[in-house]
Structure 1
């Protein structure tokens, strides 16, 4: 019979951040609520959870590495969980509990007991009584006159020299804190490279730091970069303190953290020689066969065997006009798929590990000629990592993987049948009314963000089909006195490049919805580039209107991503087009024929 650990909520509510023996003890609790608390400007899923011990309930945040338990439905309302690791932080004098490790024990049908909230004014009372229990199947015993808490050993977790405060989790860092120290492993360090902008020349480097709660990027410039560069080594663990916590510049980093660190001349770096409780790299591997389910330019972790190593090539970057080395690898896994993985720079030049098992972390998903992957500055790769999944993959490859015939992801321009290489699933087509009624994309819906649908374009806004883009980086540019200036590239060009940004009203038999798409969508819908359509509009408004009208009333298969954002203080769901494909009527006819031949078709009459 599973029992709740009575007194846990009271003890956790009143514990100091250094009470690690309590935060690392086992607490059997019941989940009363799980709610998404994403901010409008964040791409990171965050969940607030309310847990109860049958007597009281408290709030906590889930570490992001636990998000999959919520998304997969393992943790939901009334689930009994075993919390084995937590941490405590204070943000603007408010207590913040973060759950680092827990697992589902069983799913209860109803709330256990009649738990009440704990107010900040309640003081901690000493209690030497052993921890009580509350039955899952029975109502709890009457509340004792003095709250019961788990025994706590006062153990200070200090940074080096004991003068920097307690160790903070990376996930708990924010610009509102001053006295903090993190204990983190360096998973990636860039080269010390030079840059030039309107303010002058300089040099910089960045590192990716990781602990058990998450990752954060740190950057140093000029003299500070020279001083700190040799102090960081990939794979080692350091105490880091007295750095600035800034809002992350997402154009330079693909990490999910909303913040980043800025190192200055006050920043302190000290290598950690303690061999206990060291952070290890955590992966969230996805099979190569499921890459079609991911959005272009998103990031993922994959574990694969190097099937083939291509030669090193030298290309000229369109963005910087500099020459850079690249090398293409062919990687495979047990799903039976092969994918092209591209390495750049020194990694491309120095790579020499044929048939090795490699764990790639935070690699970029592309769709050039089918699904592809590539590394960038924040990506890491571990060759033959000592993890169970890698040993299993190596054994499979040696036994049968070398002779397996692998399947590649089809080109994204495929038809509408099956997946067609587009991520579209005919068997999973949903009507627009069903999507809206199911509240796909709402924070509390628990539904998958992605859905497949078939709809017809009924209207497009002709006055907002494109935007003016930088010819080097595709960022939006504005017309100035001297030409079209790009803030990112710090370059001015006489003319911009036009790129599609579409907002289309689409309908099916059930409802209508506005779908948003970008350049690839527009080029497929109009059969031409945005530059060409813009030129037509400038030369002949009548021909332009005719082209727009001809593009309407066409039906497509869509793979869409639903996402909630805030607009004028109100939440709304936006539907973005991840993939679009015209109907392939031959495949559609074959699919209908197969339905008629199936048991459903034979019994329908």
Structure 2
């Protein structure tokens, strides 16, 4: 019976340093809640908060994102009986929680109503739980092994390296937070940036960053000035390191990182870093691949991972930035996959000049940006990585498919937003879209085409546009510090004036209903017929002259018919779920092609039948 399988008293034992050791306690899931990522964070994954019971006590836990599939697949549910395999007790804001890195759902027990009458754990909050020990094979119980000797600090490259110490008590990356103080992590360096310098009103300095990986997750770490001088030469891509406090854990600056982690590390001048003597059992890079054929449904500027067969390699070219006058080396590649679609992908800098891979190699990319300049394309970010012929299942499957279909023809991607023709489409009615809201889930957005007319553009007490940075590739909001001085926090630059960009809510309608669409700068220009700077100028002129050209421009933008490609996704706002409809691409109706589309529809019916009446 399920009651007999549950390890009663295990929760108290986990948090009691003097309690008995319980390696793999069995508990019941009595509550499960989804925590959505922050709005606009395309790379983040949802988190799952689980309440577990041992029949005597219950405890809040957080499931590691690596184990999300247990919930999304429907295997782990409220009432499930589970065995904890890897876990880490922590005290966060005076509250005891468990970080669950891996668990097993005991399917043979099925699902039950809450068993027993568990109560909240009544241990005093000043009792510090000991972190679970972790080794190369994972966690082995909830009691710590004997404390290790402090690691040797990183020494300059010309000094003899100290021998590796034993680290029987390690933290997983998944458990790092600003509330964790003394810890050591064992990580693989998957990316190292060049040294960058900065000059601003607060001074000058330099920095570098690395991406770090273990079995539970990835995190970005940055070293400034002194830490940069001390640690830069030590880090090598694909090598394994022990890193120990002092090292700050802060909230991640998402504009500088493509990793799905809410936190990042900042190396202090005394951060302890040691290269591991044992370089075996290296954590493998995790990918979340998007098929090339699926790119038209991915929103512009999203960061993704992708994998493909190398079909073409361009020559190295040099371009000059119009904003900074700096030269950049680039090389264009063409990739294809088993969707029989190819895409152009640009690599930059040393990655471009040093590129050396034979045609028909399989290449995996982590951290590429989806662009839309005339055609849908990809660009490898400076924090991204590229692996040629990786030893992963997806690469072997793709290579096998290509070898069996070497004569396959590949279609090039056409831009969704730039396609002025449209071609034959199957449109959804607005009434149908609204009815389908009920079945929409947070982890599975819906993408569709809708033909509708603009009815109203929200502008009373609503934001139509925002002041943005003028730097190439930067669209962050700038702040006016003084008259004629607009500051961009991302680029660390001042501008005499901003470039306004649309961010607007538009009500559209067809003959079945109305709906609100979220539009960004490119779609806003198409609807308004002018840039956001021009519209802002009209608004200022009206305020000075008492005219109404701003309102007239908004009125002129209504009653226009477009074909919209829309992404519907579930969001949580003020703890309430809601559906957001974002426009991925749009263009005016091509009436010649629309006539042909309707003609094809008519051919599907037998003229004169009772099922169709032509007026």
TM-score range, shorter chain: 0.7 to 0.9
Contact 2:371 2:379 in 1 (8 A): yes
C-alpha distance in 2, partners of 1:411/1:72?
33
Q: Given the superposition, is the C-alpha separation of residues 178 and 429 from structure 1 closer, same or farther in structure 2, using an over 3 Å criterion?
A: same
Q: Is the 8 A contact 1:56 1:115 kept in 2?
A: no
The match for 2:208 among 205, 217, 221 is 205
In structure 1, the partner of 2:448 is 452
Matches within 5 A, 1:14-53: 14-15=13-14, 25=24, 31-38=29-36, 40=38, 43=41, 44=44, 45-50=46-51
Partner of 2:88: 87
Q: 1:388: Cα distance to partner? A: 2.5
C-alpha separation between the residues in 1 aligned to 2:9 and 2:429?
47
Q: Which residue of 2 aligns with 1:389?
A: 394
Displacement after TM superposition at 1:522 (Å): 0.7
Q: Aligned partners of 2:110 and 2:335: how far apart in 1?
A: 45
Rounded to whole Å, the distance in 2 between the matches of 1:450 and 1:208 is 32
Give a deviation string over 1:309-334, Cα, whole Å, max 9, x none.
11111112345431111111101111
SS in structure 2 at match of 1:386: coil
Q: Distance in 2 between matches of 1:427 and 1:508?
A: 10
Query: Which deviates more, 290-299 or 594-603?
Result: 594-603
Q: Deviations over 1:462-513 (max 9, x none)?
A: 5743333332243333455551322334444444323222122334556544
CA-based RMSD of the aligned residues comes to 4.0
Instruction: Name 1:156's counterpart in structure 2.
Output: 145
Instruction: Report the alpha carbon displacement of residue 219 of structure 1 after superposing the two structures with TM.
Output: 0.6
Aligned counterparts of 1:106 and 1:264: Cα–Cα separation in 2: 47
Separation in 2, partners of 1:8, 1:592: 66
TM-aligned CA distance change 1:510 to 1:54, over 3 Å:
farther
Match of 1:406 in 2: 410
Change in 2 beyond 3 A, CA 1:458/1:232 = same
Contact 2:240-2:279 within 8 A present in 1 as well: no
* Matching residue of 1:137: none
Counterpart of 1:148 in structure 2 is: none
Q: Give the SS at the match of 2:351.
A: helix
**CA positional deviation for 1:439:** 7.8
C-alpha separation in 1, matches of 2:16 and 2:54: 20
Distance 1:306 1:154 in 2: 49
Partner of 2:372: 367
Task: Find out whether 1:564 has 2:565 as its counterpart.
Answer: no
CA drift at 1:196: 1.6
Which residue pairs with 1:215 in the alignment?
218
Cα 1:468–1:592 change in 2 (3 A) is same
Partner of 2:182: 179
Q: Please report how far the alpha carbon of residue 34 of structure 1 lies from its aligned counterpart in structure 2 after TM superposition.
A: 3.1
Contact 1:417–1:588 (Cα < 8 Å) also in 2: no
Q: CA deviation at 1:363?
A: 1.7
**Alpha-carbon distance in 1 for matches of 2:444, 2:188:** 33
1:322-374 CA-to-partner distances (Å, cap 9, x unmatched) read 11111111011112111111111110111011322122112222222332221
User: 1:531 corresponds to which residue?
Assistant: 533
Aligned equivalents of 1:293, 1:173: Cα separation in 2: 34
CA distance in structure 2 between the aligned counterparts of 1:119 and 1:307, rounded to whole angstroms: 60
SS in 2 for 1:426: coil
1:205-244 paired onto structure 2 within 5 Å = 205-242=208-245, 243-244=247-248
- Which SS does the other structure have where 2:378 is aligned? strand
**2:188 matched to 1:192?**
no
TM normalised by structure 1 equals: 0.80
The equivalent of 2:557 in structure 1 is 551
| Residue 179 of structure 1, CA deviation | 0.8
CA distances 1:290-326 after superposition (whole Å, capped 9, x unpaired): 1223222222221212111111111123454311111
Q: Which residue of 2 aligns with 1:310?
A: 314
Structure 2 Cα separation of the partners of residues 30 and 589 of structure 1: 60
CA distance 1:82–1:431, shift in 2 (3 Å): farther
Give the conservation status (yes or no) of the 8 Å contact 2:11–2:57.
no
Task: Quote the residue 2:586 is aligned against.
Answer: 580
Mapped partners of 2:228, 2:16: distance in 1:
33
Q: Deviation of residue 600 (structure 1)?
A: 12
Q: Is the 8 A contact 1:164 1:180 kept in 2?
A: no
Secondary structure of the residue that 2:311 maps to in structure 1? Answer: strand
Shift of 1:461: 3.6
Aligned to 1:335: 339
Q: How does 1:384-533 map to 2 (within 5 A)?
A: 384-401=389-406, 403-412=407-416, 413-414=418-419, 426=427, 431=432, 433-434=434-435, 438=438, 440=440, 446=442, 448-452=444-448, 454=450, 455-462=452-459, 464-472=463-471, 473-479=474-480, 481=482, 483-488=484-489, 489-508=491-510, 512-533=514-535
TM-score norm. by structure 2 comes to: 0.79
CA spacing shift, 1:152–1:498, aligned 2, 3 Å: closer
User: Contact (CA 8 Å) 2:366, 2:386: kept in 1 or not?
Assistant: yes
Indicate if the aligned counterparts of 2:568 and 2:579 stay in contact, CA closer than 8 A.
Answer: no
The unaligned stretches of length 5 or more in structure 2 are 125-139, 152-165
Q: CA–CA distance in 1 between the matches of 2:429 and 2:72? A: 19
Q: How many residues align structurally?
A: 564
The answer for the alignment partner of 2:6 in structure 1 is 7
- Find the aligned partners of 2:593 and 2:16 in 1 and give their Cα distance: 61
Query: Does the 8 Å CA contact 1:17/1:87 hold for their aligned counterparts?
Result: no
Q: In structure 1, how many angstroms separate the alpha carbons of the residues matched to 2:277 and 2:293?
A: 41
How has the CA–CA distance of structure 1 residues 538 and 78 changed in structure 2, closer, same or farther, with 3 Å as cutoff? same
Segments of 5+ residues of structure 1 without an aligned counterpart are 124-150
What's 1:128 paired with?
none
1:71-117 Cα shifts (integer Å, max 9, x gaps) = 45554445676764433333234333233335667599852673443
Q: What's the secondary structure of 2:223's corresponding residue?
A: strand
**1:45-88 deviation digits (Å, cap 9, x = unpaired):** 21113456789765432212333554455544456767644333
8 Å CA contact 2:57–2:120 kept in 1: the answer is no
Aligned counterpart, 2:326: 322
CA contact (8 A) 2:54 2:118 kept: no
- Relative to structure 1, the CA distance from residue 70 to residue 15 in structure 2 (aligned partners, 3 Å threshold; closer, same or farther) is same
Following TM superposition, by how much is the alpha carbon of 1:245 offset from its aligned partner in structure 2, in angstroms?
A: 1.0
